[in-house]
Structure 1
């Protein structure tokens, strides 16, 4: 039998809990939305005050400046000067002196120029930065894209939750973003979050039966990061099989594939295998004359190495497993509408396909897909619970 102290403590706990529940229920949507908005505002503030620096800043800055500067030496000088003006002395030292590759890039304009093919291909990201650089220096323009993208992604998710009556799950959506490396992607100078904006927007528009705007948004995501062609291709296949959005997704895939051939042919991109080797095996100091032969064993080693790194230091595999487990245990597939089913299956399949084609180990590369999967599962679970 519980003693008096135990009964009193439990009664007090139940009273406080019951009172809080009574206060929370009528305001739960406002509270959920408020918590989510605070999280997005906090992320934006951190991105503005404490942005992260990475070596790609030099290459993206040079790509933005290229139309105005024909001389590789001057392009190199100005790119490094702009970055130096926007980072601390210690950060600049790290970015230019902490390893042989960075030292060579800082000292050799010709070697630096050979790297730009990796970056020119992100055409919409670069062109957006060029547009903004009319009002600020290129580094600030690139950081502005990350900041604006973080806010825009938050706005889309807020609208998504409002439209589906799930605003009370704002804290869950914030946790989903945390686990998907949203903050890291926002702080870095990279096109990842910009592409995430278009992909999440496309997912929302598709679920809202706005197929043409969804296709346009998908194409924009491809222009920001052409490796999202894998998702567009898988999405096209599932849409063709199930029906919803079949023709819009077919047109989107055709346009994206044609654009990919044009981009890879005209942006001096070194090609898939060289990019794989450069990313996973060795940062060679220059791509001039670099052409390693394809190796099946080398490719398999890259897969193993990336998987180990993902498990040891990243969250995307764990989150993907959690989402799959949630689907298996909490979702009735037969009760999913066709559009949610098409999108959910396409996103999962594309994660697998992208990893096999190019095994990135960092969570930020899977951010949009994990968020889209999470939102579909959250909304579907909520609707199925309402029917119980």
Structure 2
């Protein structure tokens, strides 16, 4: 008798009723349903938490202000209208954090002109701001900003479920859900930012590519740069993969050129300060005012920004470790012939180099900036692997 059989759980399953229950559970249809239910309940729990306990972060304030910006000429009026909306929904603790938790926040609370100068870095998320304004008559700007995280989060979960179902890999949900949670899925849902909306559009594009619907995938990718222009990196990574893995090059090449032109136009008309000024602000030193901010380029300061990004990413974030684990999983699946075909391999390759490229272009350490790449890589690998718990030999115990 094994040590497992000597435990209360082992003895229970060794009994006739327990063995019957175990046999019923270890059937593919039952395990598939359990995995699907696990994924659905997890997604609903995350969405419910994001809806009931939204994170009133600084980005939320800036995005609400950007959505209001087209109706106020005076920075003081914009400042007052923004904070009135924020104060109506935020708790006292959240209000204190947003206004007084650090010198930067305090300055933005006290100086309306400085506050408006920050919005040049938020206007470039044109589709996100446009959707906030579109929903405003029905929900108000605050609830619109919350729904634009919660609803895409739910739809991302449902897309993952559908993807695993089409791949006959539903039992992979037992692996996917914990991985998504570690990759910041729950926190991104509660935070008010365009990241979940970007994840939805990008995951739809990746699924389309996985299914061989390249034109649909390219259209989704083109739309994605209006949510976050830096998703151009994913498009470029997919273009490289198409070249190396002999995929369809013309659609993705045209998409990259069109997306690049769109990014340039968005940056120009949005008044974006430029890559170096934004890099300096985010990776070297935050600035109370971005009005006319144009620092001289410095290799030493750029290196400082990258060192900071690497250190914080390794110490306080999970995406580097997940990327390493997924890359190892890709190698193992390839070794045992479980991930065949240039399309799946090309997608995994693109997502792997895209993660590194995203960091190289702008070394922000937070998990949310890499969620699209990590989640996409995980689903493609699990869909190729198609794990089956019902195939585990019964004599190996529980």
Q: Give the TM-score normalised by the residue count of structure 2.
A: 0.91
Report the CA distance between 1:41 and its aligned residue: 0.5
Report the CA distance between 1:290 and its aligned residue: 2.2
**Aligned equivalent of 2:249:** 246
Report the CA distance between 1:184 and its aligned residue: 0.7
Report the CA distance between 1:345 and its aligned residue: 0.7
Matched, 1:345 2:353: no
Gaps of 5+ in 2: 391-398
**Aligned equivalent of 1:32:** 35
Which of 139, 153, 178 in structure 2 is aligned with 1:175? 178
Report the CA distance between 1:276 and its aligned residue: 1.2
The change in CA–CA distance for 1:333 and 1:284 in structure 2 (over 3 A counts) is farther
The change in CA–CA distance for 1:231 and 1:90 in structure 2 (over 3 A counts) is same
Matched, 1:51 2:43: no
Confirm or deny: 8 A CA contact 1:229 1:256 kept in the other structure.
Answer: yes
Which of 319, 337, 340 in structure 2 is aligned with 1:336? 340
Q: Residues of 2 paired with 1:73 and 1:10: CA distance?
A: 69
Confirm or deny: 8 A CA contact 2:172 2:387 kept in the other structure.
Answer: no
For CA contacts below 8 A with separation 6 or more, give which structure has more relative contact order.
2
* Number of equivalences: 385
Which of 361, 366, 373 in structure 1 is aligned with 2:365? 361
Matched, 1:210 2:213: yes
**Aligned equivalent of 2:22:** 20
Matched, 1:288 2:287: no
Gaps of 5+ in 1: none
**Aligned equivalent of 1:233:** 236
Confirm or deny: 8 A CA contact 1:82 1:137 kept in the other structure.
Answer: no
**Aligned equivalent of 1:143:** 146
Report the CA distance between 1:8 and its aligned residue: 9.6
Which of 68, 74, 91 in structure 2 is aligned with 1:71? 74
1:20 counterpart SS class: helix
**Aligned equivalent of 1:126:** 129
The change in CA–CA distance for 1:259 and 1:24 in structure 2 (over 3 A counts) is same
Confirm or deny: 8 A CA contact 1:331 1:381 kept in the other structure.
Answer: no
The change in CA–CA distance for 1:254 and 1:315 in structure 2 (over 3 A counts) is same
**Aligned equivalent of 1:273:** 276
Report the CA distance between 1:226 and its aligned residue: 0.6
